[in-house]
A and B are shown apart, each in its own frame.
Chain A
Amino acid sequence: MNISKGFSLFYGSKTLEHKIDEFLDRISEAGLIYRKALSVYMDNGASDDFVVHAEQVGYIESRADELRREIETGLYEQNLIPDLRGDVLSLVEDLDAILNAYDGSGYRFSIEQPVFPATLHVDMGALVESVTNSVEQITIASRTFFRDFNSCREYIHKVRFYESEADRITTKIKRAIFSSDLPLANKMHLCSFVDMIDNLADMAEDITDKLAIYVIKRDN
């Protein structure tokens, strides 16, 4: 390895470090905007404000996609962390899938415009909060995975907590929907949206399971 290659490797790994941090920032940011978007939707339906927020999530998703590609290419081109490269790529792709799900969810709301009874708004708000919290915790867990994997375990535990909370609220909302007087088609429609939101927490939990394994591997 000559000196210039050594420097380029150092520069490359530093750049990649920033890109991974930025990627995780985007996920965190998307979660906050998603939460805000659904709050607006519950209050005012598919208003211009909601559309702006949904588009913001879409924009973040596009940027995150670019970052993901750059991270993947960088890891392979510079032959970085060969022992963990596969795991890191898988982690980045899984996190990107959450972003895609945020984006898809926003578009579905703007296209299908489901009408939730006002009695469900509080629970819907709680569900979105639990879901976005679980995604936020997986983002923090991923960030610590790169620096301090002992702390990573603590965040993994928190993700699991928020996911079960989301499951509990989902069940509560579904019960409320099916015990209402709405036509069955509407009930099914609303339930599919509730499942779609809850699925985000499930995705976060799936990532924690993998992350826990990566931590054990790295620990060795």
Chain B
Amino acid sequence: MGITGLVFLSSGLFLGWSLGANDAANIFGTAVSTRMVRFKTAAIVCSIFIALGAVISGVGAAHTLGSLGTVSAIAGSFTTALAAAFTVYSMIKCGLPVSVSQAVVGSIIGWNLFTDSVTDVNSVVKIASTWAACPLLSAIVAASIYMALNKTVRSAKVHLLRRDYCTRVAMILTGAFGAYSLGANNMANVVGVFVPVAPFVDFNFGSFSFSAIQQLFFVGSIATAIGVFTYSHKVMGTVGKGLMPLSPFAAWVVVVAQSLVLFMFASEGLEYFLASHHMPTIPLVPVSSTQAVVGAIIGIGLCKGAAKNIKWIVVGRIVCGWIITPIIAATICFFALFFMQNVFSQKVYTPKFYDLSEKVIQKISDSEKIPFHQLILLKGEKYNSGNEFIKAAKERVGKIDSAKQQRILNLAEKINVFIDLEKANKLDQNILTPEKIEHVKQLAGLKFSYRWELQDALVKISPDWSYKSESVLNKKYNKELSIQLKEVENLFSVCENKR
């Protein structure tokens, strides 16, 4: 892919840069603004741990594909990432901390609008609920920690200088942990989708091996580090000082509260751990580090009874920034895609076809419990737009909720998969077990027109290919299975039918 790959990758790197400029400020903003940690120290620690997180733990997440993974053509991914990065850049220029992931989701909505795809309403609801839920949760957590620890620290009567030293060390350790998590969780969203076009090859250096994906993630980390060094200072000022003057101790509590909120309310791992040990689970709530930091600062301010010290005008500006970020990203993305497609003649999306044959209608009726006689009116119809298909379905069936819409679209989407035995060896062994690869090989020579047909055929060979009932404990299993099925579909898709 060479030069083209690098060009496409550039927008991913731009997004990586904005991640560094924005999210790193959330991690170390309060520490730097209270002058407890020098900017240079914060930037170095942040860059190193983001890179470590991305290369060591982030690569695994690449297989799940990032948010941009829903965008089906590389030029589309390039444009979507560019729109998101440009939006974040503009917001940072105004000194406003925004959410990179929300900018990305905004861009994807723009892509959906451009390609006439059905937007998952849940994504929109998710963004909107984050604006309220995340700061609130973070404020409560920060205020609780502040009250509990402040009392303890006071009664311990530690010397001011020793306390200063401990706070400083704690800030750096917590910040390093935050940076590691940022690299591990977000790098896949930023550059994960560019894995196929990245101009890297695996290389081994004795016992040390550095895979192409790791190299790509490392390059993404460098872009993030450049973002940290070149542009995070301004947002750090807004987060650390702009909202309210903070004592070093309060600044540290903000960092801890942010990390805890992200860990408790966004960690699927923790949810699974609790459920598997028969403990009550904490409901997963969409959270963003930016909103968590702002919420934590306000929480501490209110807890200290210093509401008047909070600069509510700045809070208002930040909240406006959150709301307009997805809107701007969607708008920029929509027009950028138009230019990309019509001026630069690039394929920005892979059209999807929905073919409503009788077997599809039967399948939808069975799995979604929709009366067959209502759906039969759709028989033989073909759509190349998800929106048109859903509109037609609604006319026959009535109201269909967002989750059901996505499932119906998935069932009716036409694919063209031919299981070629020669290709079977290319199946990613990190995703599929040798047994499952064998199952796929047993289907050699068969063609599948629908995703569910492929899965049904695999289930006949082994029940390991069927989804388990929806529950917290089964969530991880189902997610992995979905990735495995996607891997099989992508590898065996026949090109002309992907059009």
Contact = CB atoms under 8 A, between A and B. Distances in A.
A106 B169 CA distance: 46
B162 interface: yes
A194 interface: no
Interface in B142-197: 154, 157-162, 164-165, 168-169, 172
Contact of A6 (B34, B159, B169, B245): B169
B297 to A, nearest CB: 13
B162 A14 contact: yes
Closest 3 CB pairs of A and B: A82-B35, A13-B161, A146-B160
Nearest to A82: B35
B415 interface: no
Given A1-B41, A6-B169, A83-B34, A147 B161 contact: no
B161 A146 contact: yes
A148 B154 contact: yes
Contact of A218 (B34, B165, B169, B247): B247
A83 B154 contact: no
B304 interface: yes
A151 to B, nearest CB: 9
A22 to B, nearest CB: 14
Interface in A75-97: 79-84, 88
19 contacts: A1-B172, A9-B168, A13-B161, A13-B162, A13-B164, A14-B161, A17-B159, A17-B162, A81-B160, A81-B161, A81-B164, A82-B34, A83-B35, A145-B160, A147-B160, A148-B157, A218-B247, A220-B306, A220-B309
B35 A147 contact: no
Contacts of B34: 82-83
Interface of A: 1, 6, 9-10, 13-14, 16-17, 20, 79-84, 88, 145-148, 150, 218, 220
Interface residues of B, number: 24
B36 interface: yes
B247 A220 contact: yes
A220 B301 CA distance: 9
Interface string B241-274: 0000101100000000000000000000000000
B379 interface: no
Contact of A220 (B41, B169, B304): B304
Nearest to B160: A146
A14 to B, nearest CB: 7
Interface string B40-69: 010001000000000000000000000000
Given A9-B168, A16-B161, 15 more contacts: A1-B41, A9-B165, A13-B162, A17-B159, A17-B161, A17-B162, A80-B165, A81-B164, A82-B248, A83-B35, A83-B247, A83-B248, A147-B160, A148-B154, A148-B157
Nearest to B41: A1
Nearest to A15: B161
Contacts of B164: 13, 80-81
Interface of B: 34-36, 38, 41, 45, 154, 157-162, 164-165, 168-169, 172, 245, 247-248, 304, 306, 309
Given A79-B35, A83-B248, A13 B157 contact: no
A25 to B, nearest CB: 15
A146 B245 CA distance: 21
B49 to A, nearest CB: 13
Nearest to A21: B159
A82 B165 contact: no
Contacts of A147: 157-160
B475 to A, nearest CB: 39
Contacts of A14: 161-162
A146 B161 CA distance: 8
Contacts of B35: 79, 82-83
A82 B161 contact: no
B308 to A, nearest CB: 12
B160 A10 contact: no
A220 B308 CA distance: 13
A18 B247 CA distance: 24
Contact of A146 (B45, B159, B247, B306): B159
A158 to B, nearest CB: 19
A217 to B, nearest CB: 9
A185 B15 CA distance: 83
Which of B35, B162, B164, B304 has most chain A Cβ within 10 Å? B164
A14 B165 CA distance: 9
B345 to A, nearest CB: 52
A85 B40 CA distance: 20
Given A1-B45, A148-B154, A220-B306, A79 B38 contact: yes
A13 B306 CA distance: 31
A168 to B, nearest CB: 35
A17 B163 CA distance: 11
A148 B164 CA distance: 14
B464 to A, nearest CB: 48
Nearest to B37: A1
A152 B172 CA distance: 31
A6 B172 CA distance: 11
Which of B34, B35, B161 has most chain A Cβ within 10 Å? B161
A80 B161 contact: yes
A10 B166 CA distance: 9
A17 B34 CA distance: 21
Contacts of B304: 220
A84 B34 CA distance: 10
A64 B243 CA distance: 41
